[in-house]
Amino acid sequence: MEVTNEVLPTSGDRIEEMMAPGPEGPISMVNLLKFKEHAEYEDGRETDLSGREAYEIYGRGVSKLITEYGGTIEFAGDVTFLALGQVEDLWDEIAIASYPSRADLWKMSTSPEWQEIAVHRAAGLAGQLNIETVPVKLG
């Protein structure tokens, strides 16, 4: 299995898939996050922030914004140990956010408010995986 961390979709096909209706009902996005050692802003501004610190600025902003689109932050935690499997390098943090639908996630992530705070996301992330999941009925 090859894994490629990205900060933004690099494929037009992936963007088209994100714009598609998606599964019926709520989704949860599992975010596997890898931070830069030092934040790097695309506009070239000087900063002493670490990648994690820049991403935390984004995290505070998006946690408020997500509720406006009916979503919630379900979990966020640092990765401390790989119990099973093998990867070249562990992610730094995992976050899980839930949305009423894929369309609500798309609306949020294309909103002017999201674009404004996303500069901190891009400055802090070396890459990430976003994995869409749907609830499974147990029993």
CATH 3.30.70.100 for the 22-133 domain, yes or no: yes
Q: Stretch 48-71: mean pLDDT, rounded? A: 97
Strands (DSSP E) found in 23-122 = 27-35, 72-78, 93-99
Q: Residue 1: what pLDDT? A: 43
Is 71 exposed, middle or buried, given 0-12, 13-18 or 19+ CB atoms closer than 10 A?
A: buried
CA-to-CA separations, 16 to 22, 48, 49, 118, in angstroms, rounded: 11, 37, 34, 20
122 vs 46: CA distance, rounded Å: 15
Residues in the chain: 139
Domain ranges of the chain: 22-133
Q: Please state the pTM of the whole predicted model.
A: 0.85
Tell me: pLDDT of 9 over 80.
no
Bigger pLDDT: 11 or 46?
A: 46
Bridge partner list, 123: none
**What is the pairing mode between strands 27-35 and 93-99?**
antiparallel
Tell me: pLDDT of 27 over 80.
yes
Q: Stretch 37-51: mean pLDDT, rounded? A: 96
104-122 pLDDT per residue, tens: 999 999 999 999 999 999 9
